[in-house]
Structure 1
């Protein structure tokens, strides 16, 4: 990578994130359906098409979610800390990514609420959204927001914060092995992101899946208590395998696209500046 500061703006990082999120969710959508089924305790859909229920909503939501994470992360680095990426400490990278994740939960939580309800009912996206608003009202759209913030904070800290820290260390120890370090950092960052954030994801899924028909899932505190009472600590990590696989792959996909796009834009601009000179 170039040692000169990147010219790619937070807005451009936002656009890169939107594209990356769209590509990632189209590839990994079946694992979302499997994970939700395991966490809710219902049978895993056997028909492949059923695993793609909620894909449109997931694309519509994931693009702005990843866009906001990429954009906020870059904004924190350049405007709040006023540093180039090469100047950031490990703690600063981790902190910027965590803030970006927390912000994105305000997009992620409402959209996933509709997706979960759609996967249970089998209705079309429009029909499910209409049914939800009619039955539960607009105030219910914030259902599961707090655990979503906890999850997204740790998720983004892993794939946006820990990934570049690990890759930088590996690149220094294994020069010339960029492909290997990319995969290794994706695995380590993705495993951290999945394992640490999964209990919050389980709680969010339960709160959103059962809404108000089960009083034990009405609050975050009661939800954690109900999950623990039902299956102890292991139940908090129910459905971890498909989600961890998805997040490891997402870490690889998103960071590959991010790195490639940033390097392309910086190289193109440097060449254009050289020609102009």
Structure 2
């Protein structure tokens, strides 16, 4: 790949992201953060049901977060938008799934029943199908038909191959960093930082967790800010309070 990706116009400051349509309509910043995380978790669960690849799920989650920069959670339920983002992302990334399969997965995940029988004879089937098709137009409007999303996975591969020559260490670090990126879809990282920086943050965070020496000042050659990398790491770390799901250890915020 060529480093870096081109500039991303869908980036916002922390101050801008506490003045969203949802906040202006009375939803607290904390509540919006929680609802976004729930929507993204629903999105991933549905995507896994229909076996979508990680990069498609990342695109879907990014579209999800972009939607709520323009529209309010008070007016559009996070599950409805999440389902629509999966549908649209699967088409954009050419990993299309039949809408019937997506609708069945949405019903099962929403009702927390993996064996739920859903077909064209059930009201829930048609309700979800209509929601997805109706919300798709709003999603296209919210994103201004800009459906270009570059996930951090390719930049992560570039970094690990360039900076970690030892294969065994590289594999361990890659696995950890990949997991951080997967989990980051529950946050607004994709609205704060470029895919290059998110990859670098996951790489840096994983190097600390896996105790892999990646050298110093490596970020300078990539035209990245270590302060921004640490800010992104700390947003990731907040997901794992008080204990992370991989090692039952508490990730500490990075100050050095």
Please indicate, yes or no, whether the TM-score normalized by the shorter chain is above 0.5. no
Whose helix fraction is larger, Structure 1's or Structure 2's?
A: 1
Q: Normalising by the residue count of structure 1, what TM-score does the alignment of the two structures yield?
A: 0.29
Q: Normalising by the residue count of structure 2, what TM-score does the alignment of the two structures yield?
A: 0.31
